Amino acid sequence: MLSTPIGRLRVVSLLEGLSYLVLLYCSIVMKRIQGNEEAIYIPGMIHGVLFILLCLLLWIARKPSGWSYPRCAIIFGAALLPFGPFFVEPWLKREDARMTTMGQDTHPLEI
């Protein structure tokens, strides 16, 4: 899974989606209900780093996969919605399998 640009995008997408849900939990339950004002500092930072990494990996995976900008916008838009990355995951898995069978695996830094 980590050997292809799309595989790395899949992993980070799932981690980013999970971190988004944790951040929502921390902001609603721990900060608003329990009154812990520092509850979102660490989850927010982790989510922010994962989101930036997702954007970078999306840009890197765009060219070798042959995705258009509107298709990339759909993946980016899914990252903005709670549970969005989990709905995009099956499609990314199929795309990763397609790229692997086509033998078009390239180094992720070749842009």
The pLDDT value given to residue 31: 83
If 0-12 CB within 10 Å is exposed, 13-18 middle and 19+ buried, where does residue 17 land?
Answer: buried
The pLDDT value given to residue 111: 37
If 0-12 CB within 10 Å is exposed, 13-18 middle and 19+ buried, where does residue 23 land?
Answer: buried
Over the stretch 23-69, which tens digit does the pLDDT of each residue have? 999 888 888 888 888 888 899 999 999 999 999 999 999 998 889 99
Reply yes or no on whether the pLDDT at 110 is more than 50: no
What global pTM score does this model have? 0.83
Domain ranges of the chain: 5-101
